[in-house]
Amino acid sequence: MIHIYTGEGKGKTTASLGLALRAAGAGFSVFIGQFLKGKDYSELKSLKKIKNIKVEQLGTRCFVKKSPSPKDIMLAKKGLARIKGVIQSGRFQVVILDEANIAIKLNVLGLREVLDVVKMCPDCIELVLTGRYAPKELKECADYVTEMKEVKHPFKKKITGRRGIEF
């Protein structure tokens, strides 16, 4: 089935990682491709300890927020090709495209390209796409759509992200 975690609130990647952890505990193999990310986030240290979860960062060292570079676009396109190969390999029962929705919003990935990946995904794979601004077309073809809503966040009080909590 197709899962989408989107919205303005915190927790989209965290929700996908919870699903990955549950699936790994059930003996499934999980692949997580992180678009637009290349930093050493704290969750990566934990995920490396779980033998049936594989994480690949498909971006540069910093999170892209506004103006992607040609390198960002090239890495994202290579990353999407990698995701296609992962799906076709049949090795993984859960495939997560972390921040794919943002990559579409920033025109780093094309909506059509991502929809093609969603449509080629066999029924035996749970496909998860995270990130703000999920396009209507992706939501329409998804089986699960969860929208995170920000009610209150410490960033509004100028409190920066904390290691182990926000990153």
Instruction: Give the pLDDT confidence of 17-37 residue by residue, as tens digits.
Output: 999 999 999 999 999 999 988
> Nearest to residue 97, comparing CAs of 127, 67, 123?
127
Residue ranges of the domains in the chain? 2-157
pLDDT of residue 59: 81
In whole angstroms, how large is the CA radius of gyration of the chain? 15
Res 67 pLDDT > 90: no
> Nearest to residue 108, comparing CAs of 139, 159, 69?
69
Instruction: Give the pLDDT confidence of 85-106 residue by residue, as tens digits.
Output: 999 999 999 999 999 999 999 9
pLDDT band at 159 (very low <50, low <70, confident <90, very high): confident
Q: DSSP string spanning the chain?
A: -EEEEEESSS-HHHHHHHHHHHHHHTT--EEEEEET--S--HHHHHHTT-TTEEEEEES-SS---S---HHHHHHHHHHHHHHHHHHHHT--SEEEEETHHHHHHTTSS-HHHHHHHHHHS-TTSEEEEESSS--HHHHHH-SEEEEE--S--GGGGTPPP-TTTT-
Average pLDDT over residues 25-54: 92
> Nearest to residue 100, comparing CAs of 91, 90, 87, 113?
113
Query: Rounded to whole angstroms, how far apart are CA atoms 158 and 92?
Result: 40
| 72 bridge partner residues | none
Q: What is the dihedral of CA 55, 28, 10, 147, to 10 degrees?
A: 130
Handedness of CA 147, 156, 66, 98 (dihedral sign): negative
Q: In the CATH scheme, what is the code of domain 2-157?
A: 3.40.50.300
